[in-house]
Amino acid sequence: MLAFVLQGARRLASKGRPLDQQPFLILGAGLTGLSAAHHFGEGARVLESLDQVGGKARTRERQGARFDITGHWLHLRDPYMLEWVPKLPGLTLQKHDRKARIFSHGVYTLYPFQANTFGLPPTVARECLQGFVDARLHDLESGIAPRQRPEPETFEDWILQKFGAGIAEHFMVPYNQKIWTAHPRELSARWCDRYIPVPKVEDVIAGAVGASREALGYNAHFLYPPSGRGIQELADAVHRDTDAPIELEVKVTAIDLANKRVQRADGRWEHYQTLLTSLPLPVAIDLAAQVAPLPEAVAEARSRLQSTFVAHLDVLAKGSNHDQKGPWDGDGQPHWTYFPEARFPFYRVGSFSAVEPNMTDGDTRNFYVEFAHRGGFNPMDQFDAVAAGLSDAGLIDGPDAIIDCWGESIAHAYVLNDEHHGAARDLLVDWLASHSVLSAGRYGNWEYSAMEDALLHGRRAAAWARERLG
């Protein structure tokens, strides 16, 4: 039945259009664009500026080791995705139990911090537990159940309401100020509930005495290819299962909304009936502005969009991936570690080889070290700080263990959910949609989201295009 419906949709999509007009043109061969092309089928076409598919979910090789572009750990919850993704041709995924840690006050603690204060200096642990209890007792004393409290307006309000002053001071505020490059009081609380686990009182108490009971949060488990070829395997598998033509190394320089066409860097125009852009939302708006002036409201909304860069240093270092020794808990190197303290300029360090040893040759380890910034930042300038920090945390055996190191920055990596975010984003997405252009994906929808969300965005984009085409 589904095949019949899709075939009908494809026939309708081809009726009455100019020969040079693409029913569904897609900008970007990241996970959103690939998923959209796959789910639309015949009549879709993809333009990608890079020389390989995958977008940010791609893998590169250096000195015999493979590096994803920062951490890309796959979480599947949607019923359709749970059925579709594991069956993609040539894709093998292995389930991992998360090994995430926090390094602060010179010690490792389990993630999430708010439910695992055991091992911290006694005064710090007491402040965290006392603050959490005080936040909960305040509700009891007032007679207001947690679910009846007014919704917090800022991220800081949300932190204090959920966790109390101690956890806020020792982890939540400094860590989030690092990653967002803004104090939590400047950010909205709208996005928090999905991504930040809020433990029960009994979980916090158990974690304070070293009796943490179960993994908390959406990322307690994840999937990753065991082959050693990295997350690129996911993008390649979707590509293999997609009949739509994908043209690589094509840079788009303008979008002509009125005439439904995009311009390539060589000057040629590509015509479309419907367009999906997975480019960062402000980039898509700027491409439209190359052809025609933006309406005043659109230009104003565009000016409200804010985001951070994420710079990452990829580090290859000496050391066996199978070495269980270290200052953590004897369970091997953490998959990733959070660094809330200001003495570390980076906010997170992950290790591909700690998840999958085949990502290196077995006698080396590879890491990604993440910094957030607003521009004008060269991650290679941080080499000495990174070498000292990794050594201090026991992740490498001193600065001399580093074999190679290189870095780059990702623009628009984290969207800032400030007071203007929702209204500005919605206006821009709706304006593009009124011109038969869908902006989707993590960057296109201007949101914080995961790989599964990108694949789902692509599927929904295909349905949107079919509906538009009649």
Q: Who wins on pLDDT, 153 or 9?
A: 153
Q: What is the pLDDT, as a whole number, of residue 3?
A: 38
Q: Which domains does the chain have, with CATH numbers?
A: 2-72+231-302+420-469 (3.50.50.60), 86-112+217-227+307-415 (3.90.660.20), 127-203 (no CATH)
Dump pLDDT digits (tens) for 259-277: 999 999 999 999 999 999 9
| pLDDT score of 332 more than 90 | no
**CA–CA separation, 102 vs 58, rounded Å?**
27
Residues 6 or more apart whose CB falls under 8 angstroms from that of 174 comprise: 340, 341, 342
Is residue 419 classed as helix, strand or coil in its secondary structure?
A: coil
Highest averaged pLDDT of the listed ranges 18-22, 99-103, 187-191: 99-103
**CA–CA separation, 328 vs 336, rounded Å?**
12
What would the two tokens of residue 466 be? 């079919």
Please give the average per-residue pLDDT across 442-469, as a whole number. Answer: 97
- Strands 59-62 vs 65-68: parallel, antiparallel or unpaired: antiparallel
Q: Which amino acid is at 131?
A: G
Decide if 88 contacts 239 (C-beta within 8 A): no
Q: What is the pLDDT, as a whole number, of residue 70?
A: 95
| pLDDT score of 4 more than 50 | no
**CA–CA separation, 322 vs 393, rounded Å?**
18
Q: What is the pLDDT, as a whole number, of residue 362?
A: 77
10 band by pLDDT with thresholds 50, 70 and 90: very low
Average pLDDT, the chain: 90
Dump pLDDT digits (tens) for 205-240: 888 887 765 577 767 899 999 999 999 999 999 999
Query: What is the sign of the dihedral through the CA atoms of 347, 353, 354 and 355?
Result: positive
Q: What is the pLDDT, as a whole number, of residue 370?
A: 98
